[in-house]
Amino acid sequence: MTERSFPVPSQLEPVAGAEGWESMYPYFSRFQPEDDERFWFYNSMHFPEVIPAFDGLTSEIPYTAIGANTARLFSFPTTMGIEYRILNGRVYITANPVLDEAEQGRRFADFQERAGHYYGNWDRIYGEWQQRIEALIADIEAVEVPELGDLDPLEVVTGGRGFASNHFLRERFHRCIDLYSKMWHHHTELLMLGYGAYVVFFEFCKQAFPEMGDQMVARMVAGMDVTMYRPDDELKKLAALAVELDLGDLFVEGADPAKVLAALAERGDAGARWLAALEAAKDPWFNVSVGDGFYHHHLSWADDLTVPFAALPRYVEQIAAGQDLTRPTERLAEERDRIAGDYRALLDAEEEKAAFDQMLGLCRQVFPYIESHKFYCEHWFTTRFFQKIRAFGALLAERGVLLEADDVFHLRHLEVEDALVDVSLAWASGGTELGARHWQPIVAERKRIVEALSGWSAPPALGAVPEALNDPAVKMLWGITQDTIETWLGGDDDDESTVRGYAASPGVVEGVARVLLNVNDIGQIREGEVLVCPVTAPSWGPVFGKIAAAVSDIGGTMSHAAIVAREYGMPAVVGTGMATARIRTGDRVRVDGDRGVVTVLS
Amino acid sequence: MATQSVLHFRDVGLGDVATVGGKGASLGELLRAGIRVPTGFAVTTAAFRQTIEHLTVAGRTIPERVAALDPADAEGLAAGTAEIRAVLEAAPPPDEVAAGVTAAYAALCEECGDPELPVAVRSSATSEDSAEDSFAGLQDTYLWVHGADSVLEHVRHCWASLYSVESVTYRLRRGIPETDLGMAVVVQRMVGARSSGVMFTRSPRTGDKSVIAIDASWGLGSAVVSGDVTPDAFVVSKVTGEIKRTVATKTRWHRPDPSGAGVVETDVPAELQDVPSISDEEIAELAATARTVEAHYGCPQDIEWAVDDAGEVFLLQSRPETVWAEKDRIRKAAPTARPFDHVFNLLGGKRPTEG
């Protein structure tokens, strides 16, 4: 038998034109020779694109938090944290299992005490969590980029502050990074415990009802009042208002948002009322990124109205035709309870029913957090965070260090700090910033590297085939199981026209594929098409109203594509690993959400 | 205890296994549950006993003749049982029994409006033990039988099957007394099945009770039961009604012989081979019927069914599913002191056992 392995990191061919890409990322993110012996998989769910230098922070900081949480705070017995490496601009990760049984036993005692405290006080802790995260969001919103005038304002002197405004350059930039780190710690605070509860119920259901579809478990657990649905609900309200105010004619597919806004401003009171309602909805509900909050260029609806304005024409049309678009939460809740009740009734013994009640109850208790934390963390907070960094970029551009504000995202955060010190010194000395000569060629070079790397087709996995996958998140969030690994190894004999993944949302449809590699192209999607993408984000929700089915390269049954697809009642196959590589825009495809199979028909 | 030679299905239920056998009792019980089954009657165990008592083999009663056989003597056993079967199949039954069967068949013809009504004649054992039935070969089924004389002849074939070498050996080795022997025969209208098959009210593959697994193919169910064809497979969720479909290429079908006797096995026309053999509506109706039967009996069922040319669904037979019943005793979970203890149990890894 030949030893099975994925490509090993040290043996991969360099990407032409991307020489020197390593300088964009910290040394501790590089593959080491001994990493060839370990199993790594491409985290294309969170990092579907090449990571610009600054955005390296969105892997560095989350992995400091999630690992600390499982390994050092809660003492999960069988797993430490997740290690990451960056190769050709893509993030590869691996979980560090605890294999020594005596060590598992020692960790278990602490796990019981610590996790028990959180589970035992869940509702109170989650209530406090919401307050803490909202306070963090208020903190990041309050950060101001210092203004560096000819002279500091008189009050600085008369108020006795005693230090000049250039001091704030570094302090406030640091504050952004520190708050971002804190946000990620809070993000992961309840996450793994929440997944733990879900995995328990999932495993039980799979044992008691082996034929049960993965999505059925999620349907029994689903929350009704989910924050992540709120932005879409706000859009529907705006569409209803447009119809009520007789402004529906302004919302047509493909229209430029700026022109629509200008036209609204010329529609008197009605237009003014609608614009006021838009402003009210924006804060906070338009702070949803078109991505998942891991790239600076995945702008939020508030930054770029393309996505919400791509969804509005259809909503306006539906409401004008008399459709009720409000989520039928009562009916959905009844349906959820009926399904859970029916499965419960199929269990044989009273004690199994009692256990079922406990597990489902625990899931429903933890789920408001699981479903809603993304809005607070990846969307609302992160939108604000990138806006602040962009504001520092604007200062650097204004001071001539960079050509434009967004160039700041081609510097690592420590390099940004250097550039800010340059500004601080020049302002203090009356000299000139030296950064233009230093940074501008680097930015230009890195833009070229990012471009070159974006054509690299990242293997789904690298290194050795693992013996066991011990981390609950790897299965539930990334959807990676022993079966996935077999598929990646090419163990099955499907032909090139078949792609397999998780049956995330039931139903079978045929349609024309639209392959979107870059989330900013989401506006291209047309009514009735099948969306094929590396990963989808919750803010794509409104677009789900017009597509026939969704297919993604990465994601498990609890990924957001799956949740949103079920909500919209459309078939979805997620975690295929290769859909965007095998399917082309314009292909006619059949999506079988019952079996998790996508077939290219022509 | 009933001494009638025949009983209509509508007059029997589960409590009548001793009189009309398992199949007969089950069909009566299905009718009581409001399920559509092809009409018919059972030739009772009383009729069988009366017949046996009325016959002699070489001057001895049949039970005496069996008692004289040695299970270790293969040759003697073969000869002795053949002798008994010949007598049973050749000798006319007592007048009372013959008249009862003839009258019941005539009434059935009347009921169905066909003077030469085709029927299925099947043995209906009184034993509770299906393993014994299959070992003893008590599974005789004769399809597309018509005319009172032919019905009577096939009833005698069923009775004779109790005296096969295998069956007699089984009784002798286990010391089952001949006086306890009972056998009923079911006579049932044939359904001109467009499609038929079997269904389980749980997954035969995984034991999952939340689904109904339906195997279906063109023509008579014997093609599916005998394994002559790979049937279409449908798995229906009891909770949501969702259907998972696997449509097979169905190459063979069993159909009534056009000459009017028996069954012919031929190739399915090419244009039908890859077409689902039942519609979604029929799947839904079968699933609903299966749930009614399961609820009526209070345990998972193994069901034979048919759909006629008019699209009407009939059940031909239902019996308890036994393969998974034993495994159900393994409990999948028990409640814990606190709900989150389930998490500790699952994610706890290896640890020293307490105490």
Contact call for A197 and B349, based on CB within 8 A: no
Q: Could you report the per-residue pLDDT of A3-18, keeping only the tens digit for each?
A: 578 899 999 999 999 9
Contact call for A101 and B349, based on CB within 8 A: yes
Question: What is the residue-wise DSSP string for B68-110?
Answer: T--TT-HHHHHHHHHHHHHHHHHSPPPHHHHHHHHHHHHHHHH
Give the fold, CATH level 3, of A494-600.
Answer: Glucose Oxidase; domain 1 (3.50.30)
For residue A211, the chain B residue with the least C-alpha distance is B208
CA distance A99 to chain B (A): 9
The confidence score (pLDDT) of residue B179 equals: 78
| pLDDT average, residue stretch B210-218 | 95
Radius of gyration of chain B (CA): 23
Chain A positions touching B342 (Cβ under 8 A) are 200, 204, 355, 358-359, 362
> Is the model more confident about B275 or about A486?
B275
Q: A 433-472 residues with CB below 8 A of B? A: 472
The confidence score (pLDDT) of residue B259 equals: 73
Closest to B230 measured CA to CA, from B274, B178, B290, B200: B274
**Is pLDDT at B281 greater than 90 in this prediction?**
yes
> Tokens 């479903």 belong to which residue?
A371
Radius of gyration of chain A (CA): 25
Beta strands in B162-251 (DSSP E): 183-189, 193-200, 211-218, 232-237, 243-246
Chain A positions touching B211 (Cβ under 8 A) are 209, 211
The pLDDT confidence band at residue A434, using thresholds 50, 70 and 90, is: very high
**Is pLDDT at B353 greater than 60 in this prediction?**
no
Size of interface A-B (CB pairs under 8 A): 130
Q: Could you report the per-residue pLDDT of B114-145, keeping only the tens digit for each?
A: 999 999 999 888 875 554 554 455 567 888 89
| pLDDT average, residue stretch A286-311 | 87
Contact call for B339 and A362, based on CB within 8 A: yes
| pLDDT average, residue stretch B6-12 | 95
Q: Could you report the per-residue pLDDT of B56-102, keeping only the tens digit for each?
A: 888 888 988 888 888 888 888 899 999 999 999 988 889 999 999 99
| pLDDT average, residue stretch A429-453 | 96
**Is pLDDT at A491 greater than 60 in this prediction?**
no
Q: How many CA atoms lie within 13 A of A101 on its CB side?
A: 4
For residue B291, the chain A residue with the least C-alpha distance is A346
Q: CA A418, CA A434: separation in Å to the nearest integer? A: 11
| pLDDT average, residue stretch A91-101 | 89
Q: Could you report the per-residue pLDDT of A329-385, keeping only the tens digit for each?
A: 888 889 999 999 999 999 988 999 999 999 999 999 998 898 889 899 999 999 999
Chain B positions touching A506 (Cβ under 8 A) are 242
Nearest to A211 among B203, B328, B338 (CB): B203
The confidence score (pLDDT) of residue A574 equals: 82
Residue type, A155: E
> Tokens 């560090």 belong to which residue?
A96
DSSP run (H or E) holding A104: helix A101-120
Cβ–Cβ contact B336 with A under 8 A? yes
Chain B positions touching A213 (Cβ under 8 A) are 242
Q: How far apart are the first and last CA of chain A?
A: 38
Q: CA A389, CA A411: separation in Å to the nearest integer? A: 11
Q: How many CA atoms lie within 13 A of A448 on its CB side?
A: 11
The confidence score (pLDDT) of residue B212 equals: 96
Chain A positions touching B244 (Cβ under 8 A) are 594-595
**Residue A112 CB coordination number (10 Å):** 18
Question: Do residues A315 and A325 make contact, with C-beta atoms less than 8 angstroms apart?
Answer: yes
Q: How does the average pLDDT of chain B come out, rounded? A: 87
Contact call for B238 and A472, based on CB within 8 A: no
Domains of chain B: 6-189 (3.30.1490.20), 193-328 (3.30.470.20)
Q: CA B283, CA B221: separation in Å to the nearest integer? A: 16
Q: How far apart are the first and last CA of chain B?
A: 60
Cβ–Cβ contact B238 with A under 8 A? yes
The pLDDT confidence band at residue A521, using thresholds 50, 70 and 90, is: confident
Q: CA B355, CA B349: separation in Å to the nearest integer? A: 18
The residues spanned by each domain of chain A are 9-116+454-476, 149-188+376-453, 194-226+329-369, 227-320, 494-600
Q: CA A300, CA A522: separation in Å to the nearest integer? A: 13
Q: CA A382, CA B72: separation in Å to the nearest integer? A: 87
Question: What is the residue-wise DSSP string for A198-256?
Answer: HHHHHHHHHHH-TT--HHHHHHHH--SS-GGGHHHHHHHHHHHHHHHTT-GGG--TT--
Q: CA B242, CA B234: separation in Å to the nearest integer? A: 10
The confidence score (pLDDT) of residue A471 equals: 64
The confidence score (pLDDT) of residue B2 equals: 44
| pLDDT average, residue stretch A94-105 | 88
Pick from A212-221, A516-525, B179-188, B284-293: least confident: A516-525
| pLDDT average, residue stretch A420-433 | 97
**Is pLDDT at A2 greater than 50 in this prediction?**
no
The confidence score (pLDDT) of residue A477 equals: 63
The confidence score (pLDDT) of residue A537 equals: 64
B57 phi/psi in degrees, rounded to 5 = -120, 115
Cβ–Cβ contact B227 with A under 8 A? no
Q: A 342-401 residues with CB below 8 A of B? A: 342-343, 346, 348-349, 351-352, 354-359, 361-362
Question: Do residues B81 and B43 make contact, with C-beta atoms less than 8 angstroms apart?
Answer: no
B262 Rama class: left (phi>0) / alpha (psi -120 to 50) / beta: left
> Tokens 């989520």 belong to which residue?
A327
> Is the model more confident about A461 or about A45?
A461
Cβ–Cβ contact A210 with B under 8 A? yes
The pLDDT confidence band at residue B1, using thresholds 50, 70 and 90, is: very low
| pLDDT average, residue stretch A572-584 | 84
Q: CA B146, CA B192: separation in Å to the nearest integer? A: 14
The pLDDT confidence band at residue A492, using thresholds 50, 70 and 90, is: very low
The confidence score (pLDDT) of residue A494 equals: 55
- Residues A121-127: contacts with CB within 8 Å, 24+ apart? A122/A365, A122/A366, A123/A365, A125/A190, A126/A190, A126/A368, A126/A369
Chain B positions touching A594 (Cβ under 8 A) are 242, 244
The pLDDT confidence band at residue A1, using thresholds 50, 70 and 90, is: very low
The confidence score (pLDDT) of residue A31 equals: 97
CB-based burial label for A291 (10 Å; 0-12, 13-18, 19+): buried
Q: Could you report the per-residue pLDDT of A264-282, keeping only the tens digit for each?
A: 999 999 999 999 999 999 9
Chain B positions touching A71 (Cβ under 8 A) are none
> What six digits make up the tokens of B255?
């159909």
> What six digits make up the tokens of A586?
């314009």
Cβ–Cβ contact A76 with B under 8 A? yes
The confidence score (pLDDT) of residue B354 equals: 43
> Tokens 């804190």 belong to which residue?
A182
Q: CA A110, CA A246: separation in Å to the nearest integer? A: 62
Cβ–Cβ contact B327 with A under 8 A? no
Nearest to B342 among A111, A200, A209 (CB): A200
Contact call for B208 and A207, based on CB within 8 A: no
Chain A positions touching B347 (Cβ under 8 A) are 76-78, 111, 196, 199, 472
Q: How does the average pLDDT of chain A come out, rounded? A: 89
Q: Could you report the per-residue pLDDT of A30-83, keeping only the tens digit for each?
A: 999 999 999 999 988 788 889 999 999 999 999 999 999 999 999 999 888 889
**Is pLDDT at B352 greater than 60 in this prediction?**
no
Chain B positions touching A203 (Cβ under 8 A) are 346
**Is pLDDT at A543 greater than 80 in this prediction?**
no
Chain A positions touching B206 (Cβ under 8 A) are 210-211
| pLDDT average, residue stretch B43-53 | 92
Q: CA A439, CA A402: separation in Å to the nearest integer? A: 7
**Is pLDDT at A448 greater than 70 in this prediction?**
yes
